[in-house]
């Protein structure tokens, strides 16, 4: 979502952060792998095969605007639901990132709720496409 608003450096960092999220619970679900592939393709990062862990130190200098931070959080929240569950490890990582990005707890809850509603609407649309 809104990936075109990110610079190439931000897109690569987002892919690495998404990897951080999906491996944070110690399991890599096929749906999470699919989500990483989806992000890679939509961000034009086809040549990136190995995704390395990204430390959060200095992440605010990469995502240096409120817009880029919100785009990152929305996409990472969506990634966190790819396996159908928002695990505590994923939640802790994303809340820590939210604090780093100066997103309040209330704003974080609003973003999380928006992503849940989006996923629900996408599910409804997919159901309408079935025969």
What are the structural domains of the chain?
3-129 (1.10.3680)
Query: In the prediction, which pLDDT does 28 show?
Result: 76
The average pLDDT across 86-97 equals: 93
DSSP letter assigned to residue 56: S
The average pLDDT across 62-67 equals: 98
Provide the mean pLDDT of the chain: 93
Contact 31, 77 (CB under 8 A): no
Contact 97, 17 (CB under 8 A): yes
3-class SS of residue 101: coil
- Residue 105 confidence (pLDDT) above 80: yes
DSSP letter assigned to residue 3: G
């Amino acid at each position: 979502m809104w990936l075109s608003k990110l610079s190439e450096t931000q897109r690569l960092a987002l892919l690495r952060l998404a990897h951080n999220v999906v491996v944070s619970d110690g399991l890599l679900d096929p749906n999470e792998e699919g989500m990483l592939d989806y992000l890679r393709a939509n961000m034009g990062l086809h040549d990136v095969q190995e995704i390395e862990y990204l430390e959060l130190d200095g992440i605010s200098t990469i995502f240096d605007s409120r817009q880029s931070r919100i785009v990152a959080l929305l996409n990472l929240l969506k990634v966190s639901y790819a396996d159908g569950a928002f695990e505590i490890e994923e939640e802790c990582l994303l809340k820590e990132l939210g604090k780093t990005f100066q997103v309040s707890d209330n704003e974080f809850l609003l973003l999380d709720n928006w992503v849940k509603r989006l996923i629900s609407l996408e599910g409804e649309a997919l159901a309408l496409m079935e025969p």
